[in-house]
Structure 1
Amino acid sequence: MRRSRADSAQRSDRDESISLRRTLAAVKFFHADDVRFHDVAESAETAQPGDLVVYRIGKSDPSELIAQALARGAAGILTEQLLPCPLPQCIVGDVELAMADITARMLNHPDRRMLTIGVIGSAGKTTTSLLISSLLRGSGARTAYQTDLGECDGIVQSVAHDSVPAGASLVQWLGDAIDSQCQAAVVELSDNDARHGLYDAVEFDILVVTGTGNVSCDFGPSGLQCLLERLKPTGVVVSSADDAKALRVIRDSDHRVVTYGLKARADLTAKIIDQSGGMTTLMITQGDTSAIMETALCGAAMASNHAAAAVVGMLIDQPMNHVAEVLSQLRSIPGRVQRMADV
């Protein structure tokens, strides 16, 4: 795997190996009490002495992988099933989830070294993520973001070609953001990925719930409930006061919650004053402080997205007038045929 530059240099200086026993929970070892390694091989064919080789069922021939791992001096094999091989093996329930934890350990948990914000909900995730990113940049923080329309590592913006990363790919991207000297990262989250544990290697400072939070699931906890477990002890949930079901679930988790709303009483409210000429005029109010803003993103749903983003501004101690000014500057949501640089 690709390490961040700073962490690679630091580990090279210390010649530190990584212990799978200390990194992963609920695993079994065969032919050894632990597997210690220096890097994860991209493939068994390219493994270097002391590397960890990963066997993904159905992705490679196990016999060839074993032969290559033995010949190239691999430290051990990470696998979901025991292989007929004398090398030390670490047996896990899900290789991809294990790789996310391993990547986080190798990159020194990049999510813990910057403000990490996740955005989840039934609608408005992309818009809210871009609004929050604009607000953070407006506060002077170099900000990375990931949405299903595009991404930025804090320096280079690009249109997305694949789905928003999760698991080890997300951790790697967060490591790249740290390399780019980012102070914050905003990630659009998938309910399905959350339920499958693909964010379990990441801790969030702020979790923003847009639209309505999906709090019911036929099998197991909902994505929102899973993500609440990934919130740092000092973390904050930003949720709509108009979504009583989601609020009940959030408050049962004992996390701090800050609400926004268009109808119900909330910590921060947004009121549509006028809609004409392709523009919406909003009044955003927090306590006894209000600010007026205009936006080309029209309608009640967009007003709710602006309110959710404005709460983040409130949490990072930005003046309400400044929050309104910055949020009004996002004039459109880029599509896949629009250059991200135009935003």
Structure 2
Amino acid sequence: MPDALWTAEEIARATGGKVAGDFAVSGVSIDTRTVEPGDLFVPLVGARDGHDFVLQAVANGAAGVLAAKPVDAPAVMVADTFKALEALGVAARERAPRCKRGAVTGSVGKTSVTRAIEAGLRLAGKAHASVKSYNNHIGVPLTLARMPRDTERAVFEVGMNHAGEIVPLSGFVQPHAVAITTVGPVHIENFPDGEAGVARAKAEIFAGLRPGGVAVLNADNHWFEFLKGEAEKAGATVWSFGFSPDCTAQLVSFSSDLPGECRDPDDRAASAQDGSEPRHSPGKSVVKAVIRGEPVEFSLLQTGVHWGPNSLCVLLMLEALDVPRETALAALATFAPIEGRGAEKTIRIPGGTFTLVDESYNANPISMRAALKTLGARAVSGRRVVALTDMLELGEDSDRFHAELAAPIAEANVDVVFVAGVHMKSLWEALPPTRRGGYAEVTEKLMATLADAIRPGDVVMVKGSNGSKAGRLAQALAALDLGEQG
């Protein structure tokens, strides 16, 4: 395999293991459900012992195994597969010494920002990045281990829900540039001192920063001065983004042409004649900024108001990773919303269509307010409808955080609210009766009520924490599509 990601000998050298059957691999996997032909399968030991699934991995196409127990397959034998995976990640980093690496963390937006940075890196050359949200103690070394030796630039998402988790991950990546999108009340039930603890945990990203590295920080966040101080202690050069003229990248304005019925009168006329639904134009936004004193204007396929500052964070990170400005802007212009993070679908139902805004991947007080503000900014022909599930890991103030969503819901002129979860009961009680659409203690029991209430012309936003099954509501609404039903 001339373009092998790893040979058995290379794996053995990196991990201190012993070759038991020669092989070469083109990828690395820890899950038999996602094993692709040519992969190295790494059986980790957790609630289940991954060694029990080696035969399945081989049947699915795994070319070799990194094993700590005898297996009936070509393998590199090691004492501990998790430690070996970490060592393989370090070896991948060290064999690509010219690769510029970036790392992204933050209470909100880190996955979308990471993906947008990745889009710029791929347009600029040979790039590598985290997939999905592989941002923890397993995901980061796994992403490193998958990095090809000729990678020129890479970006890694780094997450946490407890103090001390980011330090080793930053050490694995040893980034040349890092970004903290923002700090807010997320995972605060795990921090006795609340947001202050979250801010300190996010600042751990500076621990592995390469000498002379860049820290890209949100100047509009109230933890900016603290984070700036921590970054400078680590020897970083701080680049900031936000509304202040003092920022490296100043946001001047953000205006959106939100998705809706096509305004083209010819298209409307054609639709009226043939009975079809008018086309729905994709949402676009225009950002006006001043970067290092230079006025810059560019377009996005994102319509969420948070993409104003997020886009500047992306541009500064790409600059720090030696991506030309024009390449970065070209990537942003074509970067579409991610499934579960603002992606939209037009759903056909009897009598017309409604728009599903899928924000179901995760939620916290900051992202909830941003999503509601975006919903309120768009023109609608029908109603603004929201279906919300519990925001998790908010600690003893959880009910208050949920109840306080009543204000941004009112400001967004939301017509009907559906909620599910024990904490969302606090929001339900804070809503006026005219806005109450339905409540259920568990998400599954809200599905039928929500589906029955949808009307043609509605714009329906679904949002909640992944653990509270907001995605189930989005799936149930998408399943209403008459076109998908055949």
Q: TM-score range by the shorter chain?
A: 0.5 to 0.7
Question: Counterpart of 1:269?
Answer: 250
Question: Counterpart of 1:296?
Answer: 301
Aligned pairs, number: 270
Question: Counterpart of 1:333?
Answer: 337
Deviation for aligned residue 1:18: 6.6
Question: Counterpart of 2:286?
Answer: 281
1:195 to 164, 175, 179: 164
Question: Counterpart of 1:155?
Answer: none
**Aligned partner letter, 1:229:** A
1:184 to 150, 153, 159: 153
CA radius of gyration, larger in: 2
The percent identity for this pair of structures is 14
Secondary structure, in 3 states, of the residue corresponding to 1:122?
Answer: coil
Which aligned pairs between 1:50-199 and structure 2 lie closer than 5 A? 77-78=79-80, 96=82, 98-107=83-92, 109=94, 112-138=97-123, 140-146=124-130, 151=131, 160=132, 163-164=133-134, 166-179=136-149, 181-192=150-161, 195-196=164-165, 199=169
1:237 aligns with 2:215: yes
**Aligned partner letter, 2:337:** I
Deviation for aligned residue 1:121: 0.7
For the residues of structure 2 that align with 1:317 and 1:57, how far apart are their CA atoms? 40
Deviation for aligned residue 1:243: 2.1
For the residues of structure 2 that align with 1:40 and 1:107, how far apart are their CA atoms? 21
1:76-112 CA deviation, whole Å, 9 max, x = no partner?
A: 845xxxxxxxxxxxxxxxx84x445433355463675
For the residues of structure 2 that align with 1:66 and 1:132, how far apart are their CA atoms? 37
Query: Are the structure 2 counterparts of residues 100 and 227 from structure 1 closer, same or farther at C-alpha, using a change threshold of 3 Å?
Result: farther
1:2-38 CA deviation, whole Å, 9 max, x = no partner?
A: xx946537749xxx8578xxxxxxxxxxxxxxxx643
Question: Counterpart of 1:218?
Answer: 192
1:190-232 CA deviation, whole Å, 9 max, x = no partner?
A: 1227733551433112111113367984387843232211212
Query: Are the structure 2 counterparts of residues 247 and 135 from structure 1 closer, same or farther at C-alpha, using a change threshold of 3 Å?
Result: farther
For the residues of structure 2 that align with 1:186 and 1:67, how far apart are their CA atoms? 33
Contact 1:205 1:235 (8 Å CA) reproduced: yes
**Aligned partner letter, 2:126:** R
Deviation for aligned residue 1:310: 1.2
**Aligned partner letter, 1:297:** Q
Contact 1:260 1:266 (8 Å CA) reproduced: yes
Gaps of 5+ in 2: 22-28, 30-42, 50-66, 259-282, 344-486
For the residues of structure 1 that align with 2:163 and 2:7, how far apart are their CA atoms? 29
Question: Counterpart of 2:7?
Answer: 8
Contact 1:117 1:204 (8 Å CA) reproduced: yes
1:249 aligns with 2:254: no
Secondary structure, in 3 states, of the residue corresponding to 1:238?
Answer: strand
For the residues of structure 2 that align with 1:302 and 1:8, how far apart are their CA atoms? 42
| Greater relative CO (CA pairs within 8 A, separation 6+) | 1
Contact 1:121 1:212 (8 Å CA) reproduced: yes
Deviation for aligned residue 1:39: 5.7
Contact 1:214 1:246 (8 Å CA) reproduced: no
Contact 2:106 2:180 (8 Å CA) reproduced: yes
Contact 1:112 1:203 (8 Å CA) reproduced: no
Contact 1:213 1:246 (8 Å CA) reproduced: no
Query: Are the structure 2 counterparts of residues 194 and 7 from structure 1 closer, same or farther at C-alpha, using a change threshold of 3 Å?
Result: farther
Contact 1:239 1:247 (8 Å CA) reproduced: no
For the residues of structure 2 that align with 1:266 and 1:108, how far apart are their CA atoms? 32
Secondary structure, in 3 states, of the residue corresponding to 1:243?
Answer: coil
For the residues of structure 2 that align with 1:303 and 1:291, how far apart are their CA atoms? 13
Secondary structure, in 3 states, of the residue corresponding to 2:290?
Answer: strand
Gaps of 5+ in 1: 20-35, 43-53, 79-94, 152-159, 339-343
Contact 1:111 1:202 (8 Å CA) reproduced: no
Query: Are the structure 2 counterparts of residues 303 and 37 from structure 1 closer, same or farther at C-alpha, using a change threshold of 3 Å?
Result: same
For the residues of structure 2 that align with 1:58 and 1:166, how far apart are their CA atoms? 17
Q: TM-score, normalized by length of structure 1?
A: 0.61
For the residues of structure 2 that align with 1:282 and 1:67, how far apart are their CA atoms? 55
Question: Counterpart of 1:33?
Answer: none
Tell me how large the CA RMSD over aligned residues is. Answer: 4.5
Query: Are the structure 2 counterparts of residues 127 and 269 from structure 1 closer, same or farther at C-alpha, using a change threshold of 3 Å?
Result: same
Secondary structure, in 3 states, of the residue corresponding to 2:147?
Answer: helix
Secondary structure, in 3 states, of the residue corresponding to 1:232?
Answer: coil
Secondary structure, in 3 states, of the residue corresponding to 1:178?
Answer: coil
Question: Counterpart of 1:38?
Answer: 18
1:151-171 CA deviation, whole Å, 9 max, x = no partner?
A: 3xxxxxxxx4xx515435533
For the residues of structure 1 that align with 2:96 and 2:152, how far apart are their CA atoms? 10
Query: Are the structure 2 counterparts of residues 77 and 7 from structure 1 closer, same or farther at C-alpha, using a change threshold of 3 Å?
Result: closer
For the residues of structure 2 that align with 1:298 and 1:171, how far apart are their CA atoms? 33
